[in-house]
Structure 1
C-alpha cells in the first residue's frame, strides 16, 4: 500500500516552521481585526458570539490549523511542480474551501443567528481574504531555500 508520505521526500523542519508562520502571522491579525474591530458590530448584531471572546482559544485553533496545513502542503504540492503563485492559489482554494465548510456552513447550520445570509457573506469574505494571502505565503515558505549549515 502506497501513502502520500512515502511518495514525497520528507520536508525540512525549517520549511514546516516557516509554513506554520505563513499561516499564523497573517491569520491572527486578519481574524482579530476582521471579527473584533471592522465588523464587530455586525457580528454582535448576529447574536452568535460571546461578548468576551477567548483569544487564547482562537490562537490555539490557529496553531493546530497551521501545523496541519504546513504538514499537508508539501505532500500536495511537491517542489518543482508549479510556480509559487499557482501552487499557493490552488492550495488557498482547497484549504479555504475546507475551512469555509466548517467555519461558515457548519456554524450557520448549528447556531441560532439573526441572519444566516449576513453571517455567510461576512465569513465567506473573511475566508476568501485569509486564504488569498495565506495560500501564496504557504507556497513561498515551502519553497524557501535550505540553509547550508556546513562549516568549511
Structure 2
C-alpha cells in the first residue's frame, strides 16, 4: 500500500470516535489516579508541578491526543495482522513516541528534585497507559 493510499483509507465515523474513546476513557482515570492519588506525594516531592493542577487542560490534551492517535491507527497499522497484535505494536509505538516528549523532554527541561525518580514514574505510567490503550484502539477498528 502506498502512502497516498494509506492516508486516504476510508474510516467509519463510528470506528474513529470509538478509537478516540479508547484512548481518553482509560487514560483520564489512569492519569488522574497515578499522578494525583497514588503517587501524588512523590510528584509533590519532585517540586515540578503546580499546586493547583488544571484538570480541564489535561483532559483537553488527552482529547487532542485521542483524535490524532485514532486518526493515525487505520492509516498505519490496521489490516497488517490480527487486531491484538496490531494493538500491541501500536501501543508500543505510541509509548515510545509519548515517552520521548512526556518523559525525556520534560526531564531535560524542567527543574525537579530527582530526575531518576521522575523518569521511573513516568516510564511506568507510559507503559501502563499504552499497554491498555494500544489494544483498545485496535479493537475499535477491528473489522
Q: Into which bin does the TM-score normalised by the smaller protein fall?
A: over 0.9
Higher Rg of the two aligned structures? 1
Shift of 1:84: 1.6
Task: Spell out structure 1 runs of 4+ moving beyond 4 A.
Answer: none
Instruction: Name the counterpart of 1:71.
Output: 71
Aligned equivalents of 1:10, 1:114: Cα separation in 2: 48
TM-score (norm 1): 0.89
- RMSD (Å), alpha carbons: 1.4
Gapped regions of structure 2 (runs ≥ 5): none
The 3-state SS of whatever aligns with 2:67 is helix
Number of residues paired by the alignment?
A: 142
If each structure's helix is expressed as a fraction of its own residues, which one has the higher value?
A: 2
Q: Does 1:97 align with 2:96?
A: yes
Aligned equivalents of 1:5, 1:110: Cα separation in 2: 37
Gapped regions of structure 1 (runs ≥ 5): 146-152
TM-score (norm 2): 0.95
Summarize deviations over 1:64-123 as a string: whole Å, max 9, x none: 0000000000011133x2112110010000011100000000000000100000000000
The 1:107/1:13 distance shift into structure 2, 3 A limit, reads same
The 3-state SS of whatever aligns with 1:78 is coil
